[in-house]
Structure 1
Amino acid sequence: MFRNLTSALQQTVAGTCALVSTTKCVQVQHRWEYEALHGTSTFPCNAAAPRKLRRACLRKKIWRPTKGADVGDVLNMIQEQGGVRTTNGPTPAPSLLPVHSWQHHRWDHGGGLTADRIADLLDTRGPFVGVLWVCPWYTLFDSAEDRDLVYRSGCARDEMHQFLSVDCFGENNLGLHSVVCFGYRVCDGELHVLILDNHKPTGPERWIHFSELEEVFTISVKLMNPPIHQGQGGRPIRYPQSRHETD
């Protein structure tokens, strides 16, 4: 199960994967909710690069360039700010995409993150933000180049092996990373999750083994009413895209 996911936002500031992936996920949640009612390609909004979110998180000590940020803290800040900011659109286009609620799921808490649980969350609550452990070979995986390649770190959900991998490869080459999870497939009885990364305007998209997900954050939004895709005189509203974040 997977649907097209469009977001040109790209991580260009070190340590901001949680901010960028959360921003992208909120935009896509709003788009899917809106287009389910009004039709494909009717949602006009584009999320802005999270510059103001980053500064707010820095002030509150939620985000640090060397350590990044916790996705839950970022979602709380987005709610505090009223939503994800959009690029400038013509009146009556909204300037914020609100987050109604969110929920945290960990592999070792509650019902865990089994293959069945992840597939169910993607079917009923997806897309969502996922956090996984990345190793030096992670960047070699790109579904556009080879859809059969599936990323495995070799130390997923294992703090001791993760600690040893840092000792082996260095802390600059691996660590926890936040992405948008939006689809899955079952191959030979194993669940593979399709993710959208933040390193290029196209993602890239990668397939990962479901067990790589340490935690996920499901996000709920409310349908934006009244219809916002028709501007004055019935002309379609279109927002500019925001691709990059600069200091």
Structure 2
Amino acid sequence: MDVMLGGVATDIGATYWFLEMKDWIGELMGSPRQYRPMESWSWIDIMGRPIGQNKGSCVLSACLMCLEAQHRLAFERRHGSDTFPYAIPRETAADLLETCKKAGVWTRKEGANVGKVLEVMQRNGGAVAWHEEGLEHCKLQIKSWERLPSPSSSSLARIMRTEGPLIGSLDVVRADYYAPGWQTRVYTGGSGKKKAVGHALVCMEYRLDGELIRVVDNHNWQGPVRWISKTAFRSFTQIKVEPLDAGALGIEVSWRRRLLRMLWREETFWWRQRRTLNKVWNKHH
């Protein structure tokens, strides 16, 4: 079942960094960091490219994409915007699929459970990510995760605002989920639960007005993105990470490096892909 949704403004990445600076100055002055309830929030600026699923591997794709976004957020909170140089490639998704098959965690018929997939990833030391300039690969590790079965709208908004993107799990009826005009509709849940199948995707944005969650799906390179009613979700999962050690990995994050990159418009393949997606997603908001 769907309802129509009109367009709204999206890109508030600059707002985030302004508020972070304000909180940082406040902490220096002895004031505790405050959570600001906001009617909407978006993490579109830190999302990487969607990792296409392979007929039932949506959970694996969602786990990998959310993990990359969480590492980018943790790293850039420490070192500044556009300093995270890694992205998870399709090859990592293919390797994870084979590993989950062998571990009995994934089957083509039943798919997989988010927690079980994260256990496999954590046990294997994380997910391999490629450096945007072709330097040595690294592994994006998982510190822990928490399943959120039925958070209130305000709690979910607080977690997304302060902790970043989440993995969302829901049951979808394909005939409803992909009904004509679905790109401009809000999915509110299936009309026939017996025909529903499990699905997982990345939640990157919320609107308290209407209790809406904007998600990145994993069917093609554009996602796509769409709005889903909070009530349609079964649960959410928060991945927790530790920021990568820039020094140990030889990542140059000095202000001089960032300034030179900005002045000379240094654009890597991954950077261009993320910016292209950002424009596409904002256009279809």
- TM-score, shorter chain, exceeding 0.5: yes
Residue 17 of structure 1 pairs with residue 58 of structure 2? yes
Change (3 A) 1:77 1:239: farther
TM-score by length of 1: 0.77
Distance (Å, rounded) in 1 between the aligned partners of 2:201 and 2:148: 15
Change (3 A) 1:142 1:17: farther
Secondary structure at 2:155's aligned position in 1?
helix
Higher helix share: 2
Residue 62 of structure 1 pairs with residue 105 of structure 2? yes
- Within 5 Å, give how 1:103-114 maps onto structure 2: 103-107=146-150, 113-114=151-152
Name the structure 1 match of 2:3. none
Residue 33 of structure 1 pairs with residue 55 of structure 2? no
Secondary structure at 2:86's aligned position in 1?
coil
Distance (Å, rounded) in 1 between the aligned partners of 2:180 and 2:63: 22
Change (3 A) 1:192 1:38: same
Aligned mate of 1:3, from 19, 43, 47: 43
Q: What per-residue deviation string (whole Å, max 9, x for no partner) do you get for residues 104-159 of structure 1?
A: 1213xxxxx2212221221233211010121222135889x53xx3111145xxxx
User: One-letter code of the match for 2:177?
Assistant: Y
Residue 175 of structure 1 pairs with residue 206 of structure 2? no
Aligned mate of 2:128, from 76, 81, 85: 85
Distance (Å, rounded) in 1 between the aligned partners of 2:51 and 2:230: 24
* Range with bigger deviation, 61-70 or 221-230: 221-230
1:101 and 1:219 in contact (8 A); partners too? yes
Secondary structure at 1:86's aligned position in 2?
strand
2:51 and 2:89 in contact (8 A); partners too? no
5+ residue gaps, structure 2, are 1-40, 274-285
Residue 150 of structure 1 pairs with residue 186 of structure 2? yes
Secondary structure at 2:130's aligned position in 1?
coil
Distance (Å, rounded) in 2 between the aligned partners of 1:141 and 1:117: 33
Residue 224 of structure 1 pairs with residue 206 of structure 2? no
Distance (Å, rounded) in 2 between the aligned partners of 1:36 and 1:142: 37
Shift of 1:66: 1.4
Residue 127 of structure 1 pairs with residue 149 of structure 2? no
Aligned mate of 1:212, from 232, 236, 240: 232
Shift of 1:34: 1.1
Q: What per-residue deviation string (whole Å, max 9, x for no partner) do you get for residues 214-236 of structure 1?
A: 011100010111255439xx798
1:128 and 1:219 in contact (8 A); partners too? yes
Q: Which has the bigger relative contact order, CA under 8 A and spacing at least 6? A: 1
Change (3 A) 1:91 1:200: closer
Larger radius of gyration: 2
1:45 and 1:238 in contact (8 A); partners too? no
Q: CA RMSD in A?
A: 2.7
Distance (Å, rounded) in 1 between the aligned partners of 2:181 and 2:142: 30
Aligned mate of 1:137, from 176, 187, 192: 176
Shift of 1:58: 0.3
* Range with bigger deviation, 114-123 or 95-104: 114-123
1:105 and 1:217 in contact (8 A); partners too? yes
1:150 and 1:207 in contact (8 A); partners too? yes
Change (3 A) 1:77 1:141: farther
- The number of residue pairs the alignment matches comes to 216
Secondary structure at 1:87's aligned position in 2?
strand
User: One-letter code of the match for 1:123?
Assistant: R
5+ residue gaps, structure 1, are 108-112, 156-160, 167-173
Change (3 A) 1:88 1:30: closer
Aligned mate of 2:89, from 29, 43, 48: 48
Distance (Å, rounded) in 2 between the aligned partners of 1:142 and 1:183: 21
Distance (Å, rounded) in 1 between the aligned partners of 2:215 and 2:240: 19
User: One-letter code of the match for 1:47?
Assistant: I
